[in-house]
């Protein structure tokens, strides 16, 4: 970015943030970005890359810095920020910890299958026996777990990023503490949850956990405590919700 001109932001720029084990270069959020541009809901769409095995608080600091880089002027446009899974927590941690270089009010945050109150899968995988941890690690590696640069990454189920996703994590305890979770004056929230376990059913059974989309419960993905302006559920699993046309329909109704 340092050697390239930043595209004109226009009135409604957007930024999309991938989830655990993903990256922007893999293109999983490309259909969503294309839909926003085609529908006129965004004047430009950026992607934010980060190392999902790192602590979410640290990645939220980088997200804040990215917004500062993209907003060099004193007058700031109204932003749409969309995060899948862990990406939604990266955005929330940035929003709740800062006065961001975005419009004073009216910015939109959309979280897709985000474990706002954690995931029982994270608890179970860290507490599993050695053999189960090995199997889950193998599944994650085969699923294309990558670094932010797009290169393959060996998964550690003890990584800070996964620890932060536990239902009892210190990170989520602070993020969701009274006075912290309430809507930030700069943003309004839409939350969307999945209701089909799909390809994650086997892993759920192996770990002995019950989820709605294979990784997150609806209660965690659509928490009333966040005071969302809009909520929705989509009959899709944790991965496919981010590219489902039904998801796009709900987002279109929420964005500018």
Cα–Cα distance measured from residue 16 to residue 111, given in angstroms and rounded to the nearest whole number: 10
The predicted structure's pLDDT at residue 205: 92
In this predicted structure, what is the pLDDT of residue 24? 87
pLDDT of res. 120: 95
For 137-170, the pLDDT digits (tens) are: 766 654 556 665 666 667 788 999 999 999 999 9
pLDDT at 26 over 90: no
Give the model's pLDDT for residue 240. 95
Name the more confident of 187 and 133.
187
Mean pLDDT computed over 58-84: 93
Please check whether the domain covering 13-249 is classified as CATH 3.40.50.720: no
Give percent of the chain with pLDDT exceeding 70: 91
pLDDT at 6: 83
pLDDT for the residue numbered 184:
85
Mean pLDDT of 91-120: 95
**Window from 65-74, 216-225, 234-243 with minimum mean pLDDT:** 65-74
For residues 17-31, average pLDDT: 90
**17 forms bridges with which residues in the sheet?**
48, 83
Averaged pLDDT for residues 30-44: 97
CA distance 171 to 239: 23
What does the pLDDT look like over 177-210, one tens digit per residue?
988 887 689 999 999 999 999 989 988 998 999 9
| The pLDDT value given to residue 186 | 94
Check residue 145 and give its pLDDT: 66
User: What average pLDDT does this structure show over 81-91?
Assistant: 98
Taking only the tens place, the pLDDT of each residue in 246-255 is: 999 999 999 9
Of 154-163, 214-223, 225-234, 237-246, the least confident: 154-163
Question: What is the secondary structure of 61-112 as a DSSP string?
Answer: HHHHHHHHHH--SSS----EEEEETHHHHHHHHHHHHS--SS-SS-EEEEEE
Classify residue 49 as left (phi > 0), alpha (psi -120 to 50) or beta.
beta
Q: Average pLDDT of the chain?
A: 91
What residues contact residue 185 under an 8 Å CB cut-off, 6+ apart? 104, 105
Name the pairing type of β-strands 80-84 and 187-194: unpaired
Determine the Cα–Cα distance for residues 147 and 2; give it in Å rounded to an integer: 21
């Amino acid at each position: 970015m340092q050697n390239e001109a930043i595209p004109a932001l226009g009135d409604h720029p957007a930024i999309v943030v991938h989830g655990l084990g993903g990256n922007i270069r893999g293109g999983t959020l490309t259909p969503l970005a294309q839909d926003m541009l085609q529908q006129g809901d965004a004047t430009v769409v950026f992607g934010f890359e980060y190392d999902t095995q790192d602590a979410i608080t640290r990645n939220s600091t980088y997200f804040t810095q990215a917004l500062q880089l993209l907003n060099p002027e004193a007058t700031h446009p109204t932003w749409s920020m969309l995060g899948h899974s862990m990406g939604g927590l990266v955005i929330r941690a940035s929003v709740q910890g800062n006065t961001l270089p975005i419009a004073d009010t009216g910015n939109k945050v959309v979280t897709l299958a985000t474990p706002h109150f954690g995931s029982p899968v994270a608890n179970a995988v860290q507490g599993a026996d050695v053999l189960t941890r090995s199997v889950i690690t193998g599944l994650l590696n085969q699923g294309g777990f990558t670094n932010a640069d797009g290169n393959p990454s060996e998964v550690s189920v003890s990584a800070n990023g996964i620890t932060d996703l536990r239902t009892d994590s210190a990170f989520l305890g602070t993020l969701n503490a009274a006075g912290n979770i309430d809507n930030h004056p700069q943003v309004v929230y839409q939350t969307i949850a999945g209701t089909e376990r799909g390809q994650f059913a086997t892993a759920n059974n192996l770990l002995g956990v019950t989820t709605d989309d294979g990784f997150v419960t609806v209660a965690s993905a659509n928490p009333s405590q966040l005071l969302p302006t809009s909520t929705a559920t989509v009959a899709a699993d944790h991965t496919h919700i981010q590219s489902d046309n039904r998801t796009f329909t709900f987002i279109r109704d929420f964005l500018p």
